[in-house]
Amino acid sequence: MKTATIPISERPFAAFDIDGTLIRWQLYHAVADALARAGHIDKQAYQAIQEARMDWKRRTGPEAFKSYEQQLVNAYNKLITRINIGQFEQATQAVFDEYKDQAYTYTRDLIKSLKAKNYLLFAISNSQTEIVKKIASYYEFDDCVGSDYERQDSRFTGQVSLHLTDKDMVLKQLAAKHRASYKQSVAIGDSASDIPMLQFVEQPIAFNPEKKLFDHAVKQEWPLVIERKNTIYKLEISHGKYILA
């Protein structure tokens, strides 16, 4: 007896954040580091970025990571028009080669499990489309969306399309494009920018959540998953309280 093939219009989908959720570091930051090592970022500007990163690593304040990230974004946006596409692609390839297997066990295994259940897999990230596509292809996602840096000839124009605040709309477009079913839909993310995407699905998962996402997830009684060293902790609501699943 043949197993019935699920029509594409009935396939459920799962959406994954990439940076800090699948891959253990921020790909956007890793590309900037690769460009700095190649001598494409001003040394003084990069020193300021490194100092801000150390402030975050020392946990000097609740907004230390945002301060570091903003310095990185400012330096990167100034840099992008000064390099050619070839230099950029060398950096993204170096980052892919270094980080592609530095994945969290939980999310890596979740990808395999959902793929076996015939889910459509979508990757949504604020890292550059070029590196997101490489990671998405490596893990056999069905589609992906990243930040688009406009190109003109062999250079970047400086125009960029980010999706930090509209991941739900991006996910809606992907679901429509693939005629996916919302039934049993899944999304997993680690930061506040993932909240719209998580609210959009039936089965949200807050993974190693930052404070704002954690607080929101608790209010919504979403499952929490923490991966620390070689142990995975799954917390689910039971009678109004989180228990270890």
Least confident of 26-35, 43-52, 175-184, 216-225: 43-52
* pLDDT tens for each residue of 83-97: 899 999 999 999 999
- Name the residue ranges covered by the structural domains of the chain: 8-24+102-244
What is the average pLDDT across 32-43? 86
Most confident of 36-45, 63-72, 114-123, 161-170: 114-123
**CATH 3.30.420.40 for domain 8-24+102-244:** no
Stronger pLDDT, 217 or 32, i.e. the higher one: 217
Pairing of strands 155-161, 12-16: unpaired
| Element at 235 (helix H, strand E) | strand 231-238
What is the pTM (predicted TM-score) of this model?
0.90
- Strand partners of residue 123: 16, 144
**Helix 27-37 vs helix 64-79: angle between axes, to the nearest 10 degrees?**
50
- The residue-averaged pLDDT of 118-138 equals 96
In the chain, the percentage of residues whose pLDDT exceeds 70 is: 96
Give pLDDT, residue 50: 85
